[in-house]
Amino acid sequence: MSIELPPSAEHRAAYPLTTLPERVRARLTELAHQHAPLSGYLYDPGTAAARARDLRGALPDWAAVYYAVKANSHPAVLAALAQHVDGFEVASVSELALARTALDGAAPARPDRPGGTPTSVLAAGPAKTTSVLTELIRADAESINAESLLELHRINAIATRLGTTARVALRVNPAHIPITGSLQMGGAPSAFGVPEPDVPDVLAQAATLPALDIVGFHIHAASGNLDADTHAAYVRWCVGWAADTARAAGIDLRQIDTGGGIGVAFEDEKPFDVERFGALIADTPPPAGARVILEPGRYLAADCGWYAAEVTDLKNSYGHWFAMLRGGINHFQLPTSWDIVHNITVLPVDTWPAGLPRPTAENASLTVVGELCTPEDTLLRDVRVDRIRAGDLVVFPNSGSYGWEFAMPNFLGHPAAERHVL
């Protein structure tokens, strides 16, 4: 009987050392000497800013880019992105504070954000508490993506108490998206959004709530899409659906939020073609006065970060090598949680304490594990390396998104991962 292994168990060769830019190699080597044993992230905010600039430049004027802070919330990354995005998407009070700080810092360079305009943040999340909603309304958020009729009532009650009006977009779980490919995500039971058949009744009830300003819709039904053609078709569908629904409900449509969903290319995958995507959506503008919003997170931040951890021990067990890291899923949980192949490169560190044996594996297949007392703390299986030694660094490129923020740092109470800026 054959045993079906997960994708992370596929055999592969580690990336060559040249995968790491020279400046990254130099800085990680320096950090390895200063912070031994090193386990942390290195970010290049300029890489994220360049990705945002390229995406924004490829889009028509009626499209806007709001960065999803959950992907990487480091202040330096947010500050760099604030110069090139239209705003931020937040899901908590702490993310709201980080976004406002970054936007305030970008204000001198962004004359399109004059004083007195709404804070350029959109708010999301399936279970927003009264305290979160209150802070968002006090901050004059550009819009709150409401997930249910009850949430609409909560927002109305808070806005009434504060003597203001809250801008709201209704999040919708579409019954079906008539597009083939990777975007058939509508119609399934979900904690996110209002089921499409319920939308007319919810909008009718929302119209009776005097402290709400319904500005449009949020439809996030795409994830990890690398195909520009199908993603453009998805956006065009969202525009048509929102326009028809707003017209039927008598809504002054100003916002069509299509969520994130642009994929990140790994291994030999073909990257998302932003120029083609922009050209394809350009011929389907929204109704006058409305904007189409994209909320990329991982797409903008993945390439701007590297997770590096020292090999604290290297052992051969029944013919198979294991590299044990200072770190693991308590610092970088993404490969295990999503069961994705996240390849590595090995950065040699020549210094080693005198008098200690230094285990070494050459031309060997090994499994990369962390420091936690659980076999689930496995980051990569069966990767072939030319050479690896105790004391070297294992480096995971493309770790700028859902890394430090997505981990489980309190299990066993080891020190949290460090964060450094290039």
pLDDT over 90 for what percent of the chain?
Answer: 85
Average pLDDT over residues 299-327: 97
| Total residues belonging to the chain | 422
pLDDT value of position 301: 98
Cβ proximity of 87 and 311 under 8 Å: no
Question: How confident is residue 109, by pLDDT bands cut at 50, 70 and 90?
Answer: low
Two tokens, residue 280: 């394809």
pLDDT per position as a tens digit, 231-288: 999 999 999 999 999 999 999 999 999 999 999 998 889 999 999 999 999 999 999 9
Q: Does residue 180 register a pLDDT over 80?
A: no
* Neighbour-count burial of 323, counting CB atoms closer than 10 A to its CB (0-12 exposed, 13-18 middle, 19+ buried): buried
pLDDT per position as a tens digit, 77-90: 999 999 999 999 99
DSSP one-letter string for 10-46: S-EEPPPGGGS-HHHHHHHHHHHHHSSSPEEEEE-HH
Q: Does residue 9 register a pLDDT over 90?
A: no
Q: Does residue 4 register a pLDDT over 80?
A: no
Please work out, in degrees rounded to the nearest 5, the angle formed at the alpha carbon of residue 152 by the alpha carbons of 148 and 155: 135
Average confidence score pLDDT of the chain? 93
Q: What is the pTM of this model?
A: 0.94
Cβ proximity of 312 and 277 under 8 Å: no
Q: Does residue 1 register a pLDDT over 60?
A: no
Helix/strand/coil for 219: coil
pLDDT per position as a tens digit, 200-216: 999 999 999 999 999 99
Q: Does residue 73 register a pLDDT over 80?
A: yes
Cβ proximity of 307 and 335 under 8 Å: no
pLDDT value of position 14: 97
pLDDT value of position 115: 46
pLDDT value of position 184: 61
Closest CA to 223 of 62, 340, 57: 340
| Of 18-32, 174-188, 189-203, 281-295, the least confident | 174-188
pLDDT per position as a tens digit, 341-399: 899 999 999 999 999 999 999 999 999 999 999 999 999 999 999 999 999 999 999 99
Residue 342 CB neighbour total at 10 angstroms: 19
pLDDT over 70 for what percent of the chain?
Answer: 93
Closest CA to 295 of 335, 332, 267, 255: 255
Question: How confident is residue 182, by pLDDT bands cut at 50, 70 and 90?
Answer: low
Q: Does residue 116 register a pLDDT over 70?
A: no
pLDDT per position as a tens digit, 27-48: 999 999 999 899 999 999 999 9
Please work out, in degrees rounded to the nearest 5, the angle formed at the alpha carbon of residue 70 by the alpha carbons of 260 and 29: 110
pLDDT value of position 48: 98
